[in-house]
Amino acid sequence: MEATTNPKKNKRKFKQTKQLVRLALNDGWSQIEIADACRTQQSVVSAWNKGSKQGTEQQLKPLLDVYGHKLRRNTFRVYWRINPETKEKTFHKVEGKVILNLAFHDARRSRAKLIKKIPQLKLVIHHQGENKFRVIFQKRLTFEHTNEELESMIEDAIWYSIVSEQYELPELLSVIDNYAKEHLAEYPTDANTLPFIARQALLNHGFDIDGVVEYPAIW
């Protein structure tokens, strides 16, 4: 089959459809009222409620406008950064599903023998709805006088984090590609593979990416 670029992008399914519908039903909505609000059939809402089908974000927007914040309460991470001069701590709560969580390691060796891999940089991508994303740029925290890396049972506690502005999908890909070129010079393997890994993660989560050549199957 010839390679094709699909001009018609499928509407992305909302993976928390069942939880969203349950919130509305528990709040007093009937399945018929949900169907009217979402412009669909009661039988479709029944399938959403059972988890056998998922709606799209566009279909579910009336419910997301009312109950989306309750879903987001359980999908966030906390980050921080410490000002190296003033020692002032700033904490950040970032909502949205994590699409990519990738660390870049300093492979330390003794006489060409690998001792251990120490994560030094990290990239986290949150999806915040309506194809909006934030990137968390992280650097490993170290002790001021010894330069030894912090250790903690809470993984996010060992990173100095910078939270980006919101990006649309094309902007996000551009930011990731530039980050690979400009900040991963000491990690050549990661610099070369990050653009692929990021796109694979986005595709696996149901996002459509322009320029990806598709080879659809026939079932």
Q: What percent of the chain has pLDDT over 70?
A: 88
- Residue 20 phi/psi, 5-degree rounding, is -65, -45
> What whole-number distance in Å separates Cα of residue 72 and Cα of residue 165?
18
Give the pLDDT score at 30: 93
Comparing 144 with 123, the larger pLDDT belongs to 123
- Residue 162 phi/psi, 5-degree rounding, is -120, 125
Ranges of each domain in the chain:
17-72, 76-204
Q: What is the pLDDT of residues 187-209, one digit of tens each?
A: 888 999 999 999 999 998 888 89
Long-range contacts for 2-10 (Cβ within 8 Å, ≥24 apart)?
A: 3/213, 3/214, 3/215, 4/213, 4/214, 4/215, 4/216, 5/211, 5/212, 5/213, 5/214, 6/208, 6/214, 6/216, 9/208, 10/208
Give the pLDDT score at 45: 95
pTM of the model: 0.67
Give the pLDDT score at 72: 64
E strand or H helix at 77? strand 76-82
Give the pLDDT score at 73: 57
Query: Sorting pLDDT into bands at 50, 70 and 90, what band is 111?
Result: low
DSSP state of 99: E
- Residue 15 phi/psi, 5-degree rounding, is -70, -20
CATH number attached to the domain at 17-72: 1.10.260
Give the pLDDT score at 107: 58
Give just the sign of the alpha carbon dihedral 166, 169, 170, 172.
Answer: positive
Looking at the DSSP bridge assignments, the partners of residue 91 are 80
Length of the chain, in residues: 219
Residue 112 pLDDT exceeds 70? no
Q: What is the pLDDT of residues 54-84, one digit of tens each?
A: 999 899 999 998 888 777 655 789 999 988 8
Closest CA to 189 of 198, 176, 180, 177: 180
Give the pLDDT score at 9: 43
